[in-house]
Structure 1
Amino acid sequence: MAILEVNDLSITFKQYTNGLKKKYIKVISSLNISVEAGEILAVVGASGSGKSLLAHAILGILPSNAKVSGTIKFNGEILTSARQEALRGREIALVPQSVNYLDPLMRVGKQVRTSVKKGNEAKAQREVFERYRLKSDVDKMYPFQLSGGMARRTLLSTAMVSGARVIIADEPTPGLDPAVINEALNHFRDVADNGNAVMLITHDIESALKIADKIAVLYAGSTVEVAPANNFTGNGEKLRHPYSKGLWRALPQNEFIPIPGSQPHPSTLPSGCLFEPRCVKATLECTKAQPVMRELRNGIVRCIHAT
């Protein structure tokens, strides 16, 4: 059974334009993912595809002008606002993308120690700092005294000592040196192998493939494919969705072939398949309605032409 499950998630933001006219922009629609205990799910996609918003919706930290529909379940139970608040930082921990999540008025060692729920707080903080190559004097520093890489390692440390059953890592490795990146990725793998679940949000498919069990591909605020990580190989012949194949082939280490066009803005989404304007397989039927997710070859895909 999935420890974390997101079904038909939609997020709409209320905005006011000139003249105080109110409008609604749907930035995520019919998004579906799940991750089981012992598993790492990597969530990939271009900037603006909804990856970070997905994480914030799970944690219940979206801004007040956001309207959310669909269901999010943790351990089989729907996450209400009250339950999100109770589980946040305890059972579900976030490694945020922005280092601004650090409290500027608290020494970083204390921030890490406050996340320890079991065992000796000081010992756990020392060990995690050693693991991520943070010197002993760093614990007395304030966030403004840290380099960008040190701040990211501190955020990573905070999540790792929490003992959470689900860790959501939102772009956790930019600015880190290769040795620390590999250490962090291996530790995520250890966390999953010990029966927990990890959702790794990243642009770096190559790094994700080192540790992930499944890859969820997002496009324009929707899931287009969830596939086993070992499907990302060769020229993408094992993948199901045209966008997934294009994304894979566009990587520098592969064919470096760009996908024509660009991802649509949330205010100008197509009425049918969101990828239809850029898809070489598109037909008239693709313009009529957004395809539903369906199972195919040990994965799931949102495309009527996928085989």
Structure 2
Amino acid sequence: MSETQKGAARAEETRAEQVPACGRAAELDALADTLFGGHEALEHADEQEHHHHTHAPASHHEHGHHLLQVEDLSVGFRMYDEDAPFFRARQRFVEVISSLTISVHAGEIVAVVGASGSGKTLLADAVLGLFEPNATVRGRIWFDGELQDAAGLAALRGNGVSLVPQSVNNLDPLMKVGRQVEGFAHPDVPHAERRRRRAELFERYGLSEETAQLYPFELSGGMARRVLLCCALMDDPHVIVADEPTPGLDLDLAVRALDDFRAFADAGGGVMLITHDIELALRVADRVAVFKDGTVVEETAVANFASPDTLAHPFSRALWHALPEHGFRDRNVGEGSGKGGFHA
């Protein structure tokens, strides 16, 4: 065994204590990729299969690894049986996400597309280290090449990984938006630097300086969405997780909002766009992760949605047929995909 392999083996022994037993097989696969160059490869050909996905033309591995890598993620909850009598109800375990694998490269947008209410937001919560007390979370998440635990993910939240939340109600209705955006900077950043950074972001995203003195209820829907994006960008993140960022916006405003994510990715960042709107996703994303029954059933380049013949999974092909330009021909696209129907 070479010195490189010995060193990797020692690192594997150290990491083994941090990984749940149920994830050992996948972790060993990841170790094998590291030993033989798979995970650390700098370049991959377009459409080359790699870590459960193919690569889009814009994808690249900055510093030799994925910017964000989620492998074999499972999330479940302990809860009482709601159908049982109150004093006799027993706890049961409900798994919502199962063996999910997804990656985000530098310079790209990956759209996680699935039915409304199917549990996609739990993926965002896991990446951000947000766990409910009754949750059981298994799997591995790497950020910028480093394996993270729950504490590491929490430390990255707002300090490398930022969230653009689903609702503009996340803005404090009693605080002027300029002050709110400045509050998302790191606590050690001086006030003058915070103001300069906020003003720079407002200018970049078409918000006047007067906007800083407005309260959230005085903003239009598009302005509020851009304020949320500015909040996410205050700490100069590497990855943005955008959870349903366009509900309630008309098409023009929705496209403009997604163009902001495109600009962030083109500047070298990575975006995980969680959405039920596949039409918008195909406009801006580089790759699509198709979410069904609590997992990603296919992660593929947007170009593969040009034809159902280039899609590997039956549900992905069903989504293609359900698009308006293809006549909504597949009526079963929402079955088995969570509480809500799919919006094509």
Pair 149,25 (structure 1): closer, same or farther in 2 beyond 3 Å = same
Give, as a single letter, the amino acid of the residue that structure 1 aligns with 2:122: L
Query: Whose helix proportion is higher, 1 or 2?
Result: 2
Q: Which has the larger radius of gyration?
A: 2
Q: Which runs of 5+ in 1 are unaligned?
A: 268-307
Helix, strand or coil for the counterpart of 1:209?
helix
Cα deviation 1:17-56 (Å, max 9, x = unaligned): 3334211111110111011112211110112332111001
Match of 1:287 in 2: none
My pick for the range that moved more, 36-45 or 115-124, is: 115-124
RMSD between superposed Cα atoms in Å? 2.4
* 1:38 and 1:194 in contact (8 A); partners too: yes
Helix, strand or coil for the counterpart of 2:299?
strand
Per the TM alignment, residue 137 of structure 1 is displaced from its structure 2 partner at its CA by 3.5
Match of 2:212 in 1: 139
Pair 46,215 (structure 1): closer, same or farther in 2 beyond 3 Å = same
What is the CA–CA distance in structure 2 between the aligned matches of 1:24 and 1:90, rounded to whole Å? 33
Q: Which runs of 5+ in 2 are unaligned?
A: 1-64, 340-344
Aligned counterpart for 1:214 among listed residues 287, 310, 325? 287
What is the CA–CA distance in structure 2 between the aligned matches of 1:123 and 1:182, rounded to whole Å? 28
What is the CA–CA distance in structure 2 between the aligned matches of 1:127 and 1:209, rounded to whole Å? 30
Cα deviation 1:31-85 (Å, max 9, x = unaligned): 1101111221111011233211100111011322111011111122222122112
Query: Whose strand proportion is higher, 1 or 2?
Result: 1
Amino-acid identity (%):
50
Per the TM alignment, residue 148 of structure 1 is displaced from its structure 2 partner at its CA by 4.5
Whether 2:312 is the aligned partner of 1:240: answer yes
TM-score, normalised with respect to structure 1: 0.78
Instruction: Please show how residues 1-307 of structure 1 align to structure 2 within 5 Å.
Output: 1-16=65-80, 17=82, 18-19=86-87, 20-116=89-185, 120-234=193-307, 236-260=308-332, 262-264=334-336
* 2:322 and 2:329 in contact (8 A); partners too: yes
* 1:96 and 1:155 in contact (8 A); partners too: yes
Per the TM alignment, residue 130 of structure 1 is displaced from its structure 2 partner at its CA by 4.2
* 2:287 and 2:302 in contact (8 A); partners too: yes
What is the CA–CA distance in structure 2 between the aligned matches of 1:206 and 1:155, rounded to whole Å? 23
What is the CA–CA distance in structure 2 between the aligned matches of 1:254 and 1:143, rounded to whole Å? 40
Give, as a single letter, the amino acid of the residue that structure 2 aligns with 1:91: G
* 1:11 and 1:69 in contact (8 A); partners too: yes
* 2:225 and 2:257 in contact (8 A); partners too: no
Pair 120,180 (structure 1): closer, same or farther in 2 beyond 3 Å = farther
Per the TM alignment, residue 133 of structure 1 is displaced from its structure 2 partner at its CA by 4.4
Per the TM alignment, residue 244 of structure 1 is displaced from its structure 2 partner at its CA by 0.4
Give, as a single letter, the amino acid of the residue that structure 2 aligns with 1:65: N
My pick for the range that moved more, 17-26 or 198-207, is: 17-26
Give, as a single letter, the amino acid of the residue that structure 1 aligns with 2:127: I
Pair 120,210 (structure 1): closer, same or farther in 2 beyond 3 Å = farther
TM-score, normalised with respect to structure 2: 0.70
My pick for the range that moved more, 15-24 or 50-59, is: 15-24
Per the TM alignment, residue 257 of structure 1 is displaced from its structure 2 partner at its CA by 1.5
Give, as a single letter, the amino acid of the residue that structure 2 aligns with 1:69: R
* 1:52 and 1:170 in contact (8 A); partners too: yes
